Amino acid sequence: MNTVLELKSLTKQYPDHRAVDGISLAIERGEFFSLLGPSGCGKTTTLRLVAGLEEPTEGDILLDGQSVATLPPYRRNVGTVFQSYALFPHLSVFENVAFGLRRRPSETPAEIGQQVDRILGLMQLKGKEKRRPSEISGGEKQRVALARSLVLEPQVLLLDEPLSALDPKLRKQMRIELKELQRRVGITFLFITHDEEEALSLSDRMAVMNKGVIEQVGPPREVYSAPKTRFVAEFLGGVNWVKGVGVRPEAVRISRLKPGDDEHRSIEGVVNGTTFLGHCVHVHAVLTDGSPCIVEIANRVTSFSTGETVHVWWHPRDELPIARTRA
């Protein structure tokens, strides 16, 4: 274990609410770690506490084993990429990236030029050095914001929903680029998002937050397939709560005939609609116990009609290992 960032019983109390409620985390060096949760869960407040933009009410923040909880932002070796990118509109791409380096008295102009050229090459921004932020695309602004932080070689890079301003196609492209970049530079990323797909696809490990507390920490596959609470199960994707257990839509099967074996659990229902999603179709049914159920099927599978009686079935191994009520 090689912990670079540790949060110990970290709390942030405002006059009218507690935004962060005694959370503890240990993030390893070189890890892509995501903090996932809905708006108002405390994830951005946590990032701001680590960055030094907020002061904790209680608890501690350790960077490489040293407390930084009372240090100003400029004395913490962390970088921050904000949702809005926060680029200087009057400065060129080169000057935006060089801004932090120019505040270091030990850096010579030649050294600054070399470092900026290196990071612009890494971020595929060569040839854009003289352009202003208004003259580049959204994806290029994202890269400039990343380059401005990475050129300072922080121990931890904090990213506050950095992809949310991009259109869906570019957002997916930037996910791939962001993960590949993190692997190349080897810097620890603390990534804040409310998008479960981003967290699942990018993270080495992730923490799910709810109402100021962390409900679960672990690798994405583990958190998705073995959620510890009902909130985690539902926030990470669709869940059917059937006969007291949770089953993901992709794990449920549907047929007009009851399965002819004893290995599967099955229940009868009535189709009340379908949703075409391109790569798949969701069949919506109401089961005989009154519970709703969504079944994900391939879009080439025979369609089911509204009002049709069906059987939905699944294997016990696909049931989520939590009770119907929150653990």
Residues 196 and 296 in one domain: no
pLDDT surpasses 80 at 84: no
Residue where a domain terminates, one of 230, 254, 289: 230
Residues 24 and 110 in one domain: yes
Residues 148 and 261 in one domain: no
Indicate the helix (H) or strand (E) that contains 101. Answer: helix 93-102
Number of domains comprising the chain: 2
Residue 188, domain extent: 3-230
Residues 73 and 175 in one domain: yes
CA distances, 47 to each of 4, 184, 302 (Å): 15, 23, 48
Residues 88 and 157 in one domain: yes
Nearest to 129 by CA among 91, 103, 90: 91
pLDDT surpasses 80 at 23: yes
Residues 109 and 199 in one domain: yes
Instruction: List all residues 6 or more positions away from 40 whose beta carbon is below 8 Å from its beta carbon.
Output: none
Residues 179 and 150 in one domain: yes
Query: pLDDT (tens digit, 9 = 90+) per residue, 141-150?
Result: 888 998 999 9
Residues 215 and 265 in one domain: no
Residues 32 and 158 in one domain: yes
Q: Specify if 327 maps to a domain.
A: no
Residues 257 and 226 in one domain: no
Dihedral (CA of 47, 53, 59, 63) sign: positive
8 A C-beta contact, residue 81 and residue 158: yes
Q: Tell me the HSE value of 139 on the side-chain side, using a 13 A CA sphere.
A: 15
Residue where a domain terminates, one of 190, 212, 230: 230
Q: Specify if 165 maps to a domain.
A: yes
Residue where a domain terminates, one of 178, 211, 230: 230
- Provide mean pLDDT across the span 174-197: 91
Q: Specify if 191 maps to a domain.
A: yes
Per-residue pLDDT band at 232 (split at 50, 70, 90):
very high
Which CATH number is 87's domain given?
A: 3.40.50.300
Helix or strand or coil: residue 99? helix
Q: What is the pTM of this model?
A: 0.89
Nearest to 190 by CA among 77, 75, 59, 47: 47
Per-residue pLDDT band at 326 (split at 50, 70, 90):
very low
Residues 167 and 187 in one domain: yes
Residues 91 and 167 in one domain: yes
